């Protein structure tokens, strides 16, 4: 794109989008759109390449820098442009969520939604979230087992019998007492410990005056548990520090690492590390801004002070942006005193952590398949997290969407999932089933439990891939997709293009491994279903094929096409089969469609 091809640009704050065709390659913000955009044509390196590659420029005018910062953050998160710095984080840190209902409940979630609920997080240490949740569950009797949204039950659960729930699900909870418990939980999570102590002690004294000594003893135990938790479970620091966040930064060549520390009430709660690759052309300021934008877009509640290791041009805009989320927040670089020592500590730890990461990469080696996938598919970074999807069914019934997760080229079996497909009419429909599986994964309960992957692998051809793409569009997500056609082991892209790789290519070997794992995961679920219900299938009407022979067929073949391809002699060698039973099976299958999976 040439300078004279630019549209007329205003000298006002806004966001600009460099595009190649319909694809956004870079999103940026500016105090002065005209001055910022035209500077690209006088830049070097990445800036010059962006404007040379772009064929179009779009821009959005906003009222001030704060709006520009927020809009830029949302656009980058949604479109993930090639030239923007994207914070690669292998972990997905948890939040605590207090639902917005008549009878609120406390939940651990992985995503903040605009649903009116209160959120706390992200928490650097998942074990800390579990400790806090256990503390609340034991000593603050909010509901736990009546679902979200709230559902009435016929009988109270065991938590009510143990005194850990007020049982609103069966109409036994006093609304005033429940709301008081909600406020106490909010004070606990907000760090207003003294306010919580005062409230609990007042209740304890009132219970004692009413000679309700059992209730007074329960409240005494609550106070003791909270004091014990906040006195020993976190690392003590300096009480005078109060609430603040501080950051450390380190880089080495093409790699950088940013560490974020939380201090609440003078106590260190933990740290979050972000390791970033492919940043040789990015400035320190660009990397730090990318972290701030990524982390603070969802973080809540915020401290009054955020300390940086060096100055940023957009520092005042970040202060205003964070302050717009509630309380006033100052973002600054400390100049003297204890706060400078915090930054020195963070800088030292960031440098040490970066060197450790680099040594681990050398020791373990980076899975060659991930780098190969990045190159073959034209991705902007290595697809660390890949989710595999397959549709299979049990002899035309019990249609299941199978999900597997690979991280770093290795299976993460704890996150494997299976989804029962609903709404099928008549014959199995792989395209409908794939669309429903993807849609439910990214819009249902799994969306909060599992992080968004870097790549989605579909077991199937163009039809299945486009069904998955349609579901992602409905979910409002843009995630790279690739299909793997079984017979030719060919990669299939949503635009219809195919890529044929040698069988020994590490990228293809990795995809085949995960595809087979995804298929196996679905078959295991089918075997479980066989043990839960009677074995009813198309084989029921074949004379001489009983449960034992039917089970032998299911254990040896994954599709009817595979079974139909067998000869009578080969089939007769299965346990319990002879030539006559083999002929009966093949004759019954001769007029069946081939798509059905066993």
Name residue, tokens 């690979």. 406
Residue 565 vs residues 490, 544, 568, 586, 587: alpha-carbon distances, Å: 22, 21, 10, 9, 12
Strand partners, 244: 263
The answer on pLDDT for 352 being more than 50 is: yes
What is the CATH number for 282?
3.30.420
The answer on pLDDT for 40 being more than 50 is: yes
pLDDT digits (tens, 9 = 90+) for 267-295: 777 788 888 877 878 889 999 999 998 88
Contact between 169 and 150 (Cβ < 8 Å): yes
pLDDT band at 234 (very low <50, low <70, confident <90, very high): very low
Residue 534 — φ and ψ, nearest 5°? Answer: -65, 145
Query: What's the token pair of residue 339?
Result: 């706060």
Q: Is residue 32 part of a domain?
A: yes
The answer on pLDDT for 550 being more than 60 is: yes
Both 431 and 481 in one domain: the answer is yes
Both 528 and 542 in one domain: the answer is no
Select the more confidently predicted residue: 80 or 537: 80
Residue 140 vs residues 45, 164, 218, 222: alpha-carbon distances, Å: 57, 7, 10, 8
Q: Is residue 89 part of a domain?
A: no
The answer on pLDDT for 534 being more than 50 is: no
What is the CATH number for 405?
3.30.420.340
Q: Is residue 475 part of a domain?
A: yes
Q: Is residue 278 part of a domain?
A: yes
Contact between 248 and 258 (Cβ < 8 Å): yes
Q: Is residue 497 part of a domain?
A: yes
What's the confidence (pLDDT) of residue 355? 85
Both 382 and 500 in one domain: the answer is yes
Strands 244-252 and 305-307: parallel
Q: Which residues in 24-43 are b (16+ Cβ under 10 Å) and which e?
A: bbbbbbbbebbebbeebeee
pTM over cut 0.85? no
Both 287 and 426 in one domain: the answer is no
Of 424, 434, 445, 377, nearest in space to 403 by CA: 434
CA–CA gap between residue 119 and residue 109 (Å, rounded): 9
Helix axes 315-323, 284-296, angle to 10 degrees: 0
Length of the chain: 598
What's the confidence (pLDDT) of residue 440? 92
- Which 8-state DSSP code applies to residue 559? B
Both 244 and 304 in one domain: the answer is yes
Range of 45's domain? 3-79
Of 248, 317, 316, nearest in space to 287 by CA: 248
- Domain closes at, from 29, 46, 79: 79
Q: Is residue 125 part of a domain?
A: no
Both 344 and 445 in one domain: the answer is no
Cα angle at 505 between 500 and 508, to 5 degrees? 65
- Domain closes at, from 364, 385, 405: 364
CA–CA gap between residue 290 and residue 306 (Å, rounded): 15
Both 510 and 580 in one domain: the answer is no
Query: What's the token pair of residue 200?
Result: 């609990």
**398 backbone φψ class: left, alpha, beta (φ>0; ψ -120 to 50):** left
Both 352 and 395 in one domain: the answer is no
Residues of the chain with pLDDT > 70, as a percent, come to: 89
Q: Is residue 405 part of a domain?
A: yes
Both 391 and 475 in one domain: the answer is yes
CA 447 to chain centre: 7
Q: Is residue 425 part of a domain?
A: yes
Peptide bond into 301 cis (omega under 30): yes
Q: Taking the C-alpha atoms of 431, 432, 433 and 439 in order, what is their torsion angle to the nearest 10 degrees?
A: 110
Name residue, tokens 């659960």. 157
Overall number of domains in the chain: 4
Of 229, 200, 230, nearest in space to 217 by CA: 200
What is the CATH number for 569?
1.10.150.20
What's the confidence (pLDDT) of residue 595? 42
Select the more confidently predicted residue: 189 or 558: 189
Both 393 and 424 in one domain: the answer is yes
CA–CA gap between residue 204 and residue 215 (Å, rounded): 7
Give me the helices (H) in 169-212, please: 175-190, 193-209
> What is the arithmetic mean of pLDDT over 414-424?
85
Between 267-276, 383-392, 523-532, the lowest mean confidence (pLDDT) is in: 523-532
Both 296 and 275 in one domain: the answer is yes
Cα angle at 104 between 415 and 199, to 5 degrees? 120
> What is the arithmetic mean of pLDDT over 14-36?
93
pLDDT band at 344 (very low <50, low <70, confident <90, very high): very high
Strand partners, 19: 24, 56
Q: Looking at 265-343, which runs of residues are DSSP E strands?
A: 267-277, 305-307, 330-332
> What is the arithmetic mean of pLDDT over 417-439?
83
- Domain closes at, from 55, 79, 103: 79
Q: What is the largest CA-CA distance in the chain?
A: 91
What is the CATH number for 33?
3.40.1440.10
Both 495 and 555 in one domain: the answer is no
What's the confidence (pLDDT) of residue 11? 93
pLDDT digits (tens, 9 = 90+) for 466-493: 999 999 999 989 999 999 987 788 999 9
The answer on pLDDT for 357 being more than 70 is: yes
pLDDT digits (tens, 9 = 90+) for 46-100: 888 999 899 999 999 998 888 999 899 889 888 889 888 877 554 567 889 999 9
């Amino acid at each position: 794109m040439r300078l004279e091809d630019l549209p007329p640009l205003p000298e006002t704050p806004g966001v600009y989008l460099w595009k190649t065709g319909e694809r956004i390659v870079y999103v940026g913000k500016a105090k002065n759109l005209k001055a910022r955009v035209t500077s690209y044509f006088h830049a070097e390196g990445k800036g010059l390449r962006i404007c040379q590659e772009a064929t179009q420029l779009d821009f959005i005018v906003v009222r001030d820098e704060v709006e520009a910062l927020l809009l830029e953050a949302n656009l980058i998160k949604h479109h993930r442009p090639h030239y923007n710095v994207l914070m690669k984080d292998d972990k997905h840190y948890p939040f605590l969520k207090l639902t917005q209902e008549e009878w609120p409940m406390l939940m651990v979630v992985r995503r903040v939604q605009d649903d009116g609920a209160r959120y706390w997080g992200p928490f650097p240490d998942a074990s800390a979230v579990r400790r806090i949740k256990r503390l609340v569950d034991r000593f603050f009797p909010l509901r736990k087992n009546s679902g979200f949204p709230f559902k009435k039950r016929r009988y109270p659960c065991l938590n009510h019998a143990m005194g850990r729930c007020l049982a609103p699900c069966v109409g036994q909870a006093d609304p005033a007492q429940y709301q008081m418990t909600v406020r106490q939980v909010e004070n606990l999570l907000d760090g207003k410990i003294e306010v919580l102590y005062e409230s609990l002690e007042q209740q304890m004294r009132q219970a004692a005056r009413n000679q309700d000594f059992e209730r007074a003893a329960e409240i005494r135990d609550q106070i003791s548990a909270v004091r014990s938790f906040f006195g020993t479970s976190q690392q003590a620091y300096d009480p005078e520090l109060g609430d603040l966040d501080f950051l450390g930064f380190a880089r080495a060549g093409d790699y950088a690492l940013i560490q974020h520390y939380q201090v609440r009430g003078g106590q260190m709660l933990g740290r979050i590390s972000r390791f970033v690759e492919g940043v040789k052309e990015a400035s320190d300021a660009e990397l730090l801004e990318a972290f701030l934008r990524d982390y603070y877009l969802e973080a809540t509640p915020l401290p009054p002070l955020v300390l940086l290791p060096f100055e940023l041009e957009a520092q005042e805009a970040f202060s205003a942006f964070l302050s717009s989320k509630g309380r006033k927040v100052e973002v600054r670089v400390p100049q003297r005193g204890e706060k400078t020592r915090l930054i020195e500590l963070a800088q030292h730890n960031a440098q040490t952590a970066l060197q450790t990461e680099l040594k681990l990469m050398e020791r373990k080696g980076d899975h060659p398949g991930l780098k190969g996938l990045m190159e073959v598919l034209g991705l902007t970074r290595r697809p660390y997290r890949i989710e595999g999807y397959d549709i299979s069914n049990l002899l035309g019934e019990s249609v299941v969407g199978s999900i597997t997760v690979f991280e770093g080229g290795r299976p993460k079996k704890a996150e494997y999932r299976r989804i029962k497909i609903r709404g099928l009419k008549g014959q199995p429909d792989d395209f409908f089933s794939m669309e429903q599986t993807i849609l439910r994964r990214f819009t249902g309960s799994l969306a909060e439990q599992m992080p968004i992957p870097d790549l989605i692998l579909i077991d199937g051809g163009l039809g299945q891939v486009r069904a998955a793409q349609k579901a992602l569009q409905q979910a409002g997500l843009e995630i790279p997709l690739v299909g793997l056609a079984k017979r030719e082991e060919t990669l299939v892209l949503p635009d219809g293009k195919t890529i044929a790789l040698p069988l020994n290519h590490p990228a293809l070997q990795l995809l085949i491994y995960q595809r087979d794992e995804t298929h196996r995961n679905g078959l295991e679920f089918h075997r479980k279903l066989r043990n839960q219900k009677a074995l009813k299938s198309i084989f029921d009407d074949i004379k001489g094929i009983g449960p034992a022979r039917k089970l032998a067929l299911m254990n040896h073949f994954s599709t009817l096409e595979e079974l139909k391809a067998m000869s009578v002699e080969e089939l007769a060698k299965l346990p319990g089969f002879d030539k006559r039973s083999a002929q009966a099976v093949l004759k019954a299958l001769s007029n069946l469609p081939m798509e059905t999976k066993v």
